[in-house]
């Protein structure tokens, strides 16, 4: 009986280990991220700083995705909680102006696992245009969200979504293959 | 003798899915998510209808008439089953498998969200973003399982046509086909049950599609 339990436990552990593909390096602390951002701005970034910036941008994008869903969940319902919409709009509008600082030289595919495509650095003009268009849409959405005009908010949400998509379609690699 | 086998609701349900499954694949590929979600809600309605009709519909539509236990299934495989009209025990297993996988796939879609939070199923607001994204992943994977089952289904139809010289497509279109000697005839359901089943399934699908 005990042997079977031990075997079962071993099998379970192996399964967990197998599922745990690609352990990532421990997440950089907020302080490390701030330092990294400073070094990038100063032009003195080392590979650890680049990795910290990449990690931070990934987290920020995930936060924006979550915020977009939060907005969508409210606007889909017949009685939207606009305070939730406004809170999430603020998160996205807050990141809009930062986007261009998240892609220093060396933080593309050459640095390792990332969905940032090389085109970001080979076509910086288009990337900049799209990032700035997103920044503008995010600010606009936040502005419209302060009103109580739900149809207008929905329309602005559509425009914001298109701005996300416009950049991703060209500069973000697909998730699988 | 050519007799009735499948009633109109069953045939329409079957061919509606034949149209919707590839359509849904295409709307997803082309990122036409509003359409994808709309058609998905229609599939929910169709599945609910099939469930209801499987309880109150014609004799060959009812699950009770064709879902058999292991004994009857093995008897059928040994060629010792009594003559019957409608799904044989193996066909029954494939119907149940396809309905179950499709239902699971659709259920996952109802809760799914894309990674950017731009498009999400009508019930995704009930769970958080990470779970929704996982639902989306499983929704994609379960489609592959569905494809395998559909492939087996089509292969079986072809096998019957070429090897057993039995046309199964015709009866699913016209409702009529060769019924073995001694098999009990198909009994249709009273017509008044159809609008009830449609109304129930439609209302439930509309409720789900509106976010429940």
Cα dist from B62 to B55, B56, B67, whole Å: 5, 7, 9
Q: For A96-124, write each residue's pLDDT tens digit.
A: 999 999 999 999 999 989 999 999 999 99
All residues of chain B having their beta carbon less than 8 Å from the beta carbon of residue A161 are 116, 118
Which strand (E) or helix (H) includes residue A125?
helix A124-145
Give Cα separations from A51 to A20, A96, B56 (angstroms): 21, 21, 62
Nearest CA in chain B to A176: B137
Q: Note whether A66 contacts B: Cβ–Cβ < 8 A.
A: yes
Per-residue pLDDT of chain B (212 residues; tens, 9 = 90+): 789 999 999 999 999 999 999 999 999 999 999 999 999 999 999 999 999 999 999 999 999 988 888 888 888 888 888 888 888 888 899 999 999 999 999 999 999 999 999 999 999 999 999 999 999 999 999 999 999 999 999 999 999 999 999 999 999 999 999 888 888 889 999 999 999 999 999 999 999 999 88
Residues 1-30 on A with a CB inside 8 Å of B are: none
Choosing among A62, A69, A89, which should be mutated to test the B contact, i.e. which has the most B CBs within 10 A? A69
Contact B135, B142 (CB under 8 A): no
Q: How far apart are CA B66 and CA A79, in angstroms?
A: 46
Contact between chains at A70 and B116 (C-beta distance less than 8 A): no
Nearest Cβ partner of B118 from A73, A76, A164?
Answer: A164
Residues linked to residue B113 through DSSP beta bridges, in sequence order: B120
Reported as a pLDDT band with limits 50, 70 and 90, residue A14 is low
Contact state of A69 with B113 under an 8 Å Cβ cutoff: yes
ipTM greater than 0.90, yes or no? no
Q: Please give the Cα distance from B95 to B98 (Å, whole number).
A: 5
């Amino acid at each position: 009986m005990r042997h079977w339990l031990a075997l079962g436990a071993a099998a379970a552990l192996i399964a967990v280990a197998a599922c745990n593909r690609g352990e990532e390096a421990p997440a950089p602390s907020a302080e490390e991220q701030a330092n990294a951002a400073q070094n990038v701005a100063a032009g003195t970034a080392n590979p650890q700083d680049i990795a910290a910036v990449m990690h931070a941008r990934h987290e920020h994008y995930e936060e924006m995705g979550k915020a977009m869903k939060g907005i969508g969940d409210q606007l889909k319902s017949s009685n939207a909680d606009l305070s939730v919409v406004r809170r999430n709009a603020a998160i996205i509008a807050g990141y809009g102006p930062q986007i261009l600082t998240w892609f220093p030289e060396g933080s593309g595919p050459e640095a390792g696992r990332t969905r940032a495509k090389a085109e970001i650095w080979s076509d910086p003009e288009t990337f900049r245009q799209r990032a700035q268009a997103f920044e503008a849409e995010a600010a606009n959405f936040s502005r419209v969200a302060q009103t109580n005009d739900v149809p207008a908010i929905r329309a602005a949400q559509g425009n914001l979504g298109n701005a996300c998509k416009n950049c991703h379609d060209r500069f973000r690699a697909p998730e699988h293959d | 003798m050519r007799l009735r086998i499948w009633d109109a609701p069953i045939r329409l349900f079957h061919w509606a899915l034949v149209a919707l499954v590839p359509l849904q694949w295409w709307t997803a590929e082309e990122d036409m998510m509003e359409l994808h979600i709309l058609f998905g809600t229609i599939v929910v309605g169709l599945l609910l209808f099939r469930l209801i009709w499987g309880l109150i519909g014609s004799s060959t539509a009812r699950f009770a008439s064709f879902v058999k236990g292991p004994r009857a299934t093995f008897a059928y495989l040994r060629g010792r089953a009594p003559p019957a009209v409608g799904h044989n025990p193996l066909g029954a297993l494939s119907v149940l498998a396809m309905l179950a996988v499709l239902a699971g796939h659709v259920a996952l879609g109802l809760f799914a969200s894309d990674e950017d939070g731009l498009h999400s199923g009508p019930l995704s607001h009930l769970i958080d973003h990470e779970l929704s994204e996982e639902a989306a992943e499983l929704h994609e994977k379960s489609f592959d399982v569905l494809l395998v089952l559909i492939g087996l289904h089509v292969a079986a139809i072809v096998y019957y046509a070429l090897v057993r010289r039995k046309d199964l497509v015709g009866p699913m279109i016209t409702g009529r086909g060769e019924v073995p000697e001694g098999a009990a005839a198909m009994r249709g359901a009273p017509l008044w049950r159809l609008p009830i089943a449609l109304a129930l399934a439609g209302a439930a699908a509309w409720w789900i599609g509106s976010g429940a």
